[in-house]
């Protein structure tokens, strides 16, 4: 074998690696309006993971639209931006020629092993010539649109600008859809408490029923009072004698008056008889 053959083969490998290699930081640095997005890729070290890939697509967000995630914790930002790195090559031409008008895209976040409920996948749809992206998680909003192609190195890297960050439910530390569901069982929980609240009134009603029992036990006390009137008649005879004496003293008064009237009438009759007798004697 000629010694020039291995040399030519080495040069071919060197040239091929040079052609396929790319640097996302330098690539984005050539275009205005992506400084924040580029800085976040560097802070999260996603730029190194992107540069280590041979075929990749990056969904970039402009400085004017990335403020929604720029203030979040760095680990949350990394999870969100990992969902903006598609593990395949997609440019404008390929997106406009989707076989079924839509496709399921696998992202870098899916390789982390922490994705769940399709958090590591994106849906892309071509509807009437408009390309729309969304998280593949059920119920996610379908409203992030393709703005333009920023840069492309065919079949190696494609940088596409989108209108807003794509945030899968649960990646921004917000309550995830399925975990929010357990709040519903808590709604019936107050109902048992409300059902248990009526029993206290029945518990109080027996105590009220015991109140008459207490009054009945106090009934002997009136009986003691009844004995007091029984003693009263014993001392009452002297009081009874007093009325009897009064009635006796009052009785002679009416008797004397009637006797006096009889005496006067008898006297008048005797006087009348005497006068008549005197009249006849005089004759």
| Annotated domain spans of the chain | 17-183, 251-283
CATH topology of domain 17-183: FAS1 domain (2.30.180)
Write out pLDDT tens, residues 234-244.
344 344 443 44
Residue position matching structure tokens 């006067």: 264
Look at residue 167 and tell me whether its pLDDT is greater than 50.
yes
Report the relative pairing of strands 121-127 and 144-153 from DSSP bridges. Answer: unpaired
In this prediction, residue 129 has a pLDDT band, given cuts at 50, 70 and 90, of confident
Structure tokens at 51: 């540069």
Q: Could you tell me if 148 and 31 are in contact, meaning their C-beta atoms sit under 8 angstroms apart?
A: no
Is residue 60 a contact partner of residue 30, using CB atoms and an 8 Å limit? Answer: no
Q: In a 3-state reduction of DSSP, which class is residue 118?
A: coil
Cβ neighbours, 10 Å, residue 92 = 14
3-state secondary structure of 219: coil
Pull the structure tokens for residue 198.
């009526």
Residue 46 pLDDT:
98
Q: Which of 26-35, 66-75, 102-111, 174-183 has the lowest mean pLDDT?
A: 174-183
Cβ–Cβ < 8 Å for 124, 132: yes
Q: How far apart are CA 139 and CA 4, in angstroms?
A: 61
Report, as an integer, the average pLDDT of 50-55: 96
118: Cβ–Cβ under 8 A, 6 or more apart, which residues?
A: 135, 136, 137, 138
**Residue 204: pLDDT over 80:** no
How high is the pLDDT of residue 64? 96
Rg (CA), the chain: 60
């Amino acid at each position: 074998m000629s010694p020039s053959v291995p040399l030519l083969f080495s040069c071919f490998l060197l040239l091929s690696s040079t052609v396929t290699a790319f640097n996302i930081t330098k690539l984005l640095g050539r275009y205005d309006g992506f400084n924040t997005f580029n800085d976040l890729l560097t802070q999260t070290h996603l730029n190194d993971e992107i540069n280590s890939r041979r075929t990749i697509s990056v969904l970039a967000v402009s400085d004017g639209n990335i403020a929604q995630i720029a203030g979040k914790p760095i680990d949350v930002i990394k999870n969100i931006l990992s969902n903006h790195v598609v593990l395949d090559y997609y440019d404008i031409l390929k997106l406009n020629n989707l076989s079924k008008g839509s496709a399921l895209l696998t992202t870098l976040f899916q390789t982390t092993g922490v994705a769940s409920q399709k958090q590591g996948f994106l849906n892309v749809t071509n509807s009437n010539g408009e390309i729309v992206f969304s998280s593949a998680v059920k119920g996610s909003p379908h409203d992030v649109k393709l703005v333009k192609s920023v840069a492309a190195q065919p079949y190696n890297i494609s940088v596409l600008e989108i209108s807003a960050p794509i945030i899968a439910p649960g990646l921004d530390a917000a309550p995830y859809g399925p975990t929010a569901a357990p709040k519903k069982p808590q709604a019936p929980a107050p109902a048992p408490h409300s059902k248990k609240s009526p029993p206290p009134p029945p518990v109080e009603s027996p105590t009220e029923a015991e109140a008459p029992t207490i009054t009945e036990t106090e009934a002997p006390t009136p009986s003691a009072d009844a004995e007091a009137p029984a003693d009263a008649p014993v001392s009452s005879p002297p009081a009874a004698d007093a009325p009897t004496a009064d009635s006796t003293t009052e009785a002679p008064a009416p008797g004397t008056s009637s006797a006096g009237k009889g005496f006067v009438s008898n006297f008048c009759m005797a006087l009348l008889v005497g006068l008549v007798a005197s009249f006849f004697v005089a004759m």
